[in-house]
Chain A
Amino acid sequence: MTEYEAIIGLETHIQLNTTTKIFCSCKADSWFDPPNTNICPVCTGLPGALPTLNKAVVEKAVLLAKAMHANLLPLSYFARKNYFYPDLPKGYQISQYDKPIAVGGFLDMPMNPANGQSYIRHITIDNMHLEEDAGKTRNEPGRRLIDFNRCGVPLIEMVTGPDLRSADEAAQYLIRLRQLLRWLGISEADMEKAHLRCDANVSIRPKGASHLNPKTEIKNVNSIDAVKEAIGKEIERQTNEMEAGHKIETWTLEWDEDAGVLRKMRSKETEADYRYFREPDLLAIRMTDEWRNAILEGFPELPLERRARFIEDYGLPEYDAEILTGERSLSDYFETTVKTYKGDPKRVSNWIMNDILRMVNEAGKPAYELKLTPAFLAEIIQLVDSGTINTSTGKNLLGKVETSGRAPSKIVEEEGLAKVSDDSAIREVCAKIMAASPNETASYKAGKVTLIGWFVGQVMKEMRGKADPQIARKIMEEMLSQ
C-alpha cells in the first residue's frame, strides 16, 4: 500500500471580544439573549440601513496582525460577498477581498509528539480579513428557525497555507492560536461558544510527491477534538478512495459533531461565484503610522517567545515553561515572583505548578486577581528557605494569605507560626508530656523505643507545629534516656 501524507490548510474564523458588533451598535455578545432580541435595522438588513465600522475591530486586528508577523495595508477595503442564505439578512456578507486589513505572516509552531522527535512546523498565513458573522439557524423537521442575534458579530478570517501535515498538527495549531488570542486579549477564543471556528481543506498525496490533489473542504469543525476526528476521518476516506482507484472530488463537507459523521453539502449552495465587489457603503480603512503605533504601544511578548526565554533565561524544563506560558497572566505571575524572590526560578515554578495553579483553577479567576500576589508568594518561599517556617507551614500560609490578603510575615508573627528551635522551650514541653504520660514513659524506658514517634507527635501537637521536628526528636530521646 502506498504511504500517503495529508496536506491541510485551515480557515479560521475568530470572534473578536469587542463590546459592539462590527457595523452597528448592538452588543457583540448575545450568548444569553432570547432569539432576535439583540438586533437593529443594520444587522438585520432592513431596507435603507447602512453599516458603520467599529474602531475597536480594527484595533484588535492590528494586534493579531503584529503577532502573526503579517503586513498591514495602509489602505484596506471592504467588499461584498453575495450569496443567498437565510442567516445572511442582506444577501451579502460584508467581508474583505482584494485589499484586506493584512497580508502574509507566519507562525512557527513547536511540535512535541508523544513518541518521536520534536520539530518546528512553519505555518504561513495568506491573509487576514475583517468580516461580519451571519446569524444562527436551527433545523427542525421540515423547517429551519433563524436567529439574527449573531449577525454582525466581528470576525477575523485567517487562512493558513497548505502547510499542516496531520490532524494532530491541525489540532495543535488551533491550540496555539487559541492561546495567542487570549494572550492578546482580542477574543475569548472559546470553541464551545464558537468564538473560534474552523473549516479545514484536506487533500492527500503519496508521501514525497510535490503536486497537490483535489481537496475537500470540511465546514464547522468547531472543537479541538472535532478537528482531530473530522480530519482523521477525511484522510481515511480519501485514502480508501484513492486506494480503490477513485478520484477525489472537490466537495464541501459538513461535520456533524453529534453524530460524528461527515455530510456532503448540496452543490447548489456552495456554488462559488460570490461576485465580489467593493462595498460602496464603507470607506477605506486608513492605517496610518500614527494610529498603528498608538495601538501597538505596550504590545506584549508573545507566548512562544516567552516560553523559549523561560527555558533559556531561567533554565526551566520545557514542560514547566509550557505550562507557565499557557496563559499570559500566569506567566506574568511567575516572572514577577521570580524577580522578587531572586532565588532559583525552578523553585518558584514548583510552587506555582503544585499549588498556585490549583488555586487559580479553584478560584476561577486569572492569577493576577489573586490576593496572594507574586510578592507574597516570593516572601513565603523565602520564609521557608530561611528556615523561619517549615514547608507545611508555608503551604498553609498560601491559603491564609489568599483569604485575608495580608502579608505572610505578618501572619507568621501574629499567629506565632515561626519554627521554634529554642531548646529550653522544647524541653519544657517535653517534660510536661512525660509527666502527663507516665505509662508511655515507662514503656519507652522498658525498651519500646518505637514510641518516640508518638512522643514527637505530642510535642508538635502541643506546639501547634512550630517546633523543629528534628530538634524535638533529639531532645525527647535525650530526656527519655535520663
Chain B
Amino acid sequence: MKDPITPEVFAHLVDLAALELEPTQAEYLRLQLNHQLKAIQELESIPLESNVEISAHGVPYTAEISPAPREDIWKPYPEPADIIKQAPATDEGYIVVPEIPHITLK
C-alpha cells in the first residue's frame, strides 16, 4: 500500500502548520503519520446509519445543565501589564514582530 502522506503532501502540511523540520525528523514524523493513518482508516469501514448525528461533546448539554450566557457587565482585569510582560519583544506597550511583506499593484 502506498503511503497516503507522500513527501509532497507532508511538505504542504509542514508549511500549513508553520513548522520547518530537519530531514531526519521529517522522515520519522511522516512515517509515524502514515502509521497513524492506517489506524484511522478503520473508521471508514464502520457502518454509519444516516441518523447518526455528530457529537461535539459526549455529554449532551441540555438546556437544564447549560449555564446561562454571561451578563454584559464590565470587570476590568487588574493586571494587564503582567500579560504583556510575557511577550518576548515589546515597545511602549506594543508587542513587536517582524514585518509582513506586501506587493503594490500598478
If A26-B77, A41-B77, A55-B70 touch, whether A261 touches B104 (CB-CB below 8 Å) is: yes
0/1 per residue, B36-71, Cβ < 8 Å to A?
000000000000000000101100010100111111
Out of B61, B76, B95, which one reaches A26, CB within 8 Å? B76
The answer to whether A19 and B69 touch across the interface, beta carbons within 8 angstroms, is: no
Which chain A residue has the least Cβ–Cβ distance from B100? Answer: A144
Query: What does DSSP make chain A's interface, helix, strand, loop or mixed?
Result: loop
Residues 65-105 (chain B) with a chain A CB within 8 angstroms: 66-77, 80, 83-84, 91-105
B11 to chain A, nearest CB (A): 14
Which chain B residue has the least Cβ–Cβ distance from A256? Answer: B104
The answer to the question of A264 belonging to the interface, with a C-beta cut-off of 8 Å to chain B, is yes
The answer to the question of B16 belonging to the interface, with a C-beta cut-off of 8 Å to chain A, is yes
Out of A20, A25, A265, A286, which one reaches B102, CB within 8 Å? A265
Please name all residues of chain A whose beta carbon is closer than 8 Å to the beta carbon of B84 when the two chains form the complex.
36, 39
The answer to whether A143 and B80 touch across the interface, beta carbons within 8 angstroms, is: no
A interface, how many residues as a size bin?
A: 35 or more
B68 to chain A, nearest CB (A): 7
Please name all residues of chain A whose beta carbon is closer than 8 Å to the beta carbon of B71 when the two chains form the complex.
55
The answer to the question of A159 belonging to the interface, with a C-beta cut-off of 8 Å to chain B, is no
Please name all residues of chain B whose beta carbon is closer than 8 Å to the beta carbon of A52 when the two chains form the complex.
69-70
The answer to whether B72 and A55 touch across the interface, beta carbons within 8 angstroms, is: yes
The answer to the question of B1 belonging to the interface, with a C-beta cut-off of 8 Å to chain A, is no
Interface size on B, residues (CB 8 A): 37
Out of A38, A55, A263, which one reaches B104, CB within 8 Å? A263
B30 to chain A, nearest CB (A): 20
The answer to the question of A449 belonging to the interface, with a C-beta cut-off of 8 Å to chain B, is no
A135 to chain B, nearest CB (A): 9
The answer to whether A283 and B66 touch across the interface, beta carbons within 8 angstroms, is: yes
Please name all residues of chain A whose beta carbon is closer than 8 Å to the beta carbon of B93 when the two chains form the complex.
34-37, 147
Please name all residues of chain B whose beta carbon is closer than 8 Å to the beta carbon of A145 when the two chains form the complex.
91, 94-96
Please name all residues of chain A whose beta carbon is closer than 8 Å to the beta carbon of B66 when the two chains form the complex.
283-284, 286
The answer to whether A20 and B74 touch across the interface, beta carbons within 8 angstroms, is: yes
Please name all residues of chain B whose beta carbon is closer than 8 Å to the beta carbon of A425 when the two chains form the complex.
none
A8 to chain B, nearest CB (A): 19
Q: How far apart are the CA atoms of A285 and B76 in the complex, in Å?
A: 26
Q: How far apart are the CA atoms of A276 and B16 in the complex, in Å?
A: 14
30 pairs, CB–CB < 8 Å, chain A vs chain B = A19-B73, A20-B75, A25-B70, A25-B77, A34-B93, A36-B94, A37-B80, A39-B84, A41-B77, A55-B71, A56-B72, A142-B99, A143-B96, A144-B96, A144-B100, A146-B94, A146-B95, A147-B93, A237-B105, A263-B102, A264-B103, A264-B104, A264-B105, A265-B102, A266-B101, A271-B16, A280-B57, A283-B67, A284-B66, A286-B63
Closest 8 CB pairs of A and B: A40-B77, A56-B72, A145-B94, A55-B69, A25-B75, A146-B95, A35-B93, A52-B70
B residues near A (Cβ < 8 Å) are: 16, 18, 54, 56-57, 61, 63, 66-77, 80, 83-84, 91-105
